[in-house]
């Protein structure tokens, strides 16, 4: 069951053009927020600049918050 609000490590690596080791290191160092669901590590889209929800970006552009 895929959730569009979260990225897997594989999706994170593809979108950010980083290697798997780098992704895990950034998570371990606290550079990337993640949630653990059992053995899975998922990264919320809002945790990555430029990948937040479009409706959030458009409300910020209008001065909303």
Give pLDDT tens digits for 27-62. Answer: 999 989 999 999 999 999 998 876 554 554 444 555
Confidence of residue 4 (pLDDT cuts 50, 70, 90): confident
Q: What is the pLDDT of residue 57?
A: 47
b/e 25-52 (16+ beta carbons within 10 angstroms → b): ebbeeeebebeeeeeebbbbbebeeeee
Task: Tell me the whole-structure pTM to 2 decimals.
Answer: 0.67
Q: What is the pLDDT of residue 2?
A: 66
Instruction: Provide the greatest CA pair distance for the chain.
Output: 40
């Amino acid at each position: 069951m895929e959730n569009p609000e979260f990225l897997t490590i594989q999706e994170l690596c593809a979108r950010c053009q980083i290697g798997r080791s780098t992704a895990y290191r950034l998570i371990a160092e606290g550079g990337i927020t993640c949630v653990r669901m059992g053995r899975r590590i998922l990264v919320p889209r809002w945790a990555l600049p430029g990948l937040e929800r479009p409706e959030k970006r458009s409300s910020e552009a209008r001065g909303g918050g």
